[in-house]
Amino acid sequence: MALKDDFVKEALLPSTVSDASPRKKGSCRAGLVVVKALLLGLSVWACLNALDLAPVPACMKDRLGHEREWKADEQCPQATAVVPKKNVELWSSLGKTFDSDAFKARAVEWIGGAVRVPTQSYDKMGPVGEDKRWEAFGPFHDYLLKSFPLIHSTLELTKVNTWGLVYVWKGSDASLKPLLLAAHQDVVPVNPDTVDEWTHPPFSGYFDGERIWGRGSSDDKSGLIGILSSIESLLEAGFQPTRGVVLAFGFDEETSGLHGAAAISKYLHETYGENSFLLLVDEGGGFAQEYGSVIATPGIAEKGYIDVRVEVTSPGGHSSVPPQHTTIGILSQLLVHYEENPYEAKLSRGTPIYWKSQCLAAYAPDLPGELRKALKKSVKSDKALKAAQKELFKSKSFHALVGTTQAIDLINGGVKTNALPELAWAVVNHRIATDSSVGDVQAHDTELLKQLAHQFNLSYTAFGSQLTEEGAPAYGTLTLSDAWGTALAPAPISPIDAPEYALLSGTIKATYNAHRSLTGDENIVVAPGIMSGNTDTRYYWALTPHIYRYNHHNGGNTTGIASGVHTINEFLVADAFYEQIRFFTTLILNADEFQA
């Protein structure tokens, strides 16, 4: 799961990927848009206000170069529910199977058994082959082999970097881009001190009649076993795909994906090439009740990331003759200055989070009336946009999701009480707004500390550039750097006006309906979301522009479904798992018939 804080940034992006972000400031030229709007006789394009909103661009191109603009009457375009046509009978009969008690018992056993094989990944693990802890994945592979016999006799399995799993289900039409489904095998370690606090032991996979308990039950064995349960069932029903299906299961997502997804990415690039998949679904957002409406939120973007190391040096000596400010004192002032100057968050029309709020305005009946009005007007009015922002930012988590955040997470300095510290450092973790960049953050932090560097007479180097006069006498040094060399740009935004997004949205709607015997297109609304952390998809940007981070779970339902992710008492509501199997089945069948 990506909404998390405990992953180590060791990841190095493949170089083909790091340039992939097409985000350019000011890419929406107001003049062009004015002409367009005049041609259409409608002056309601958000991009008209592009110039008023500087420095944040009012509209932005997604990675296919489509500009996102909102018409007042089209705040949150919705796809219709999509059910298989050619394979509708197969789909219906599998639906009945999924409703049977026999299948449900089997599904509970599939996921429970997977939870019972611990696959913990730890921070800073050594390479595969050297670090023995990776061998925990061997029994998990044995479990999969034993539990999904048809998959293992039909699909082609390649083990990448020993523990990475790539399954290929060949389609009869090799010209069709395969569907790519991803999940991760590893789970967050269980803190041994907290084992007693678990209602049921963390690796019990215990089923209490309603929930399956244990580490990984939700994150992300529900995804991985959900995919395999769906495919095993399709195979049992005799389904033979026209479009290929490829499964990519990394094994260290929780600690950066450096050994797993990074290697799988390389393998997939070599085997299939860039832009070679129809679409990719990996773990991510789910669906939840929001303001009176059920809203599914597939992640179409991920925030960026950088850990900035702030290092101060100054002369040491005996602490009986101290200077007014020691190295630690100076560092402290720098850090206080950081916290007194948080990044300004700005709700901007060109961002997925704004599109999501437009979906709330269009479809959530219990949204406060004033906010709805402001959001609707905000399409063309900057004043209304500010009013909507003010209201929405009352939620701390919404505010954090929109902007670049900063958190001082590490500090170190000093060795002895009678010696002045010569060195002190801290690491500031930033999650970078989807409409910002690593460069923006570096520039911002560099500027932020300039005055204090001068005041303390420090020679200042930031991200490799010397900012004070080279060789000029100084009292000490201040150095800013990318702490582990793992900065990550915000992910390219997956297009939401593409047929692939309609395929996903329509599949979500059809699954939701089928699981509850509903009909119609508005039982669940699909709205774009963003992830504040990073999934394995960070390595897969170049494989397809259509990347959706989505678990068909109601993870946001605190009275209901998945809970305890990354902490004690992780569990999965069995019914949510059955629905997830239905989702993957529907997706595979719909993708099989999909024509762009």
Nearest Cα neighbor of 266 from 253, 256, 254, 257 is 257
Q: Between 79 and 280, whose beta carbon lies closer to Zn ion?
A: 280
In whole angstroms, how close is the CB of 475 to ligand NAG at the nearest point? Answer: 4
In whole angstroms, how close is the CB of 129 to Zn ion at the nearest point? Answer: 25
Tell me if 123 is assigned to a ligand binding site.
no
In whole angstroms, how close is the CB of 565 to Zn ion at the nearest point? Answer: 8
Q: Which strands, in side-by-side order, build the sheet including 293-296?
A: 287-290, 293-296, 525-526
For residue 182, give every residue at least 6 positions away whose Cβ sits within 8 Å of its Cβ, in sequence order, or none.
247, 248, 249, 250, 261, 280, 281, 282, 283, 536, 537, 540
Quick one: what does residue 220 bind among ligand NAG, Zn ion, none, with the CB cut-off 5 to 8 Å set by partner type? Zn ion
Nearest Cα neighbor of 255 from 7, 32, 474 is 7
Quick one: what does residue 242 bind among Zn ion, ligand NAG, none, with the CB cut-off 5 to 8 Å set by partner type? none
Quick one: what does residue 1 bind among Zn ion, ligand NAG, none, with the CB cut-off 5 to 8 Å set by partner type? Zn ion
What's the length of the chain? Answer: 596
Count how many Cα atoms sit within 13 Å of the Cα of residue 527 in the half-sphere of its side chain. Answer: 27
Q: Is 135 a catalytic residue?
A: no
Quick one: what does residue 27 bind among Zn ion, ligand NAG, none, with the CB cut-off 5 to 8 Å set by partner type? none
Q: Is 186 a catalytic residue?
A: yes
Tell me if 196 is assigned to a ligand binding site.
no
In whole angstroms, how close is the CB of 290 to ligand NAG at the nearest point? Answer: 9
Q: Where on the chain is the footprint of ligand NAG (CB under 6 A)?
A: 288-289, 294, 457, 473-475, 554, 557, 559-560
- Selected catalytic residue, list 10, 67, 69, 186: 186
Nearest 10 degrees: Cα torsion 37, 42, 44, 46:
-20
In whole angstroms, how close is the CB of 292 to ligand NAG at the nearest point? Answer: 10
Strands 405-413 and 571-573: unpaired
Tell me if 566 is assigned to a ligand binding site.
yes
* Binding map of Zn ion across residues 210-239, x = CB under 5 A, - = no contact: ---------xx-------------------
- Selected catalytic residue, list 253, 302, 311, 536: 253
CA–CA gap between residue 109 and residue 111 (Å, rounded): 6
Residue 14: count other Cβ atoms within 10 Å of its Cβ: 15
In whole angstroms, how close is the CB of 219 to Zn ion at the nearest point? Answer: 4
Q: Does 1 bind Zn ion (CB under 5 A)?
A: yes
Lookup result for tokens 């995804």: 223
Site for Zn ion in 249-268 (CB under 5 A): none
Residue 425: count other Cβ atoms within 10 Å of its Cβ: 18
Q: Which amino acid is at 357?
A: S
Q: Between 69 and 254, whose beta carbon lies closer to Zn ion?
A: 254
Q: Between 315 and 439, whose beta carbon lies closer to ligand NAG?
A: 315
Q: Between 118 and 560, whose beta carbon lies closer to ligand NAG?
A: 560
Quick one: what does residue 559 bind among Zn ion, ligand NAG, none, with the CB cut-off 5 to 8 Å set by partner type? ligand NAG
Q: Between 415 and 472, whose beta carbon lies closer to ligand NAG?
A: 472
Q: Between 315 and 342, whose beta carbon lies closer to ligand NAG?
A: 315
Q: Which amino acid is at 122?
A: Y
Nearest 10 degrees: Cα torsion 22, 25, 27, 30:
160
* Binding map of Zn ion across residues 270-289, x = CB under 5 A, - = no contact: -------------x------
Lookup result for tokens 């508005």: 522
What tokens were used for 546? 């259509």
Tell me if 318 is assigned to a ligand binding site.
no
**Could you tell me the sign of the dihedral formed by the alpha carbons of 202, 205, 208, 213, in that order?**
positive
CA–CA gap between residue 508 and residue 476 (Å, rounded): 58
Active site members: 186, 253
Indicate the annotated binding residues.
184, 219, 254, 282, 566
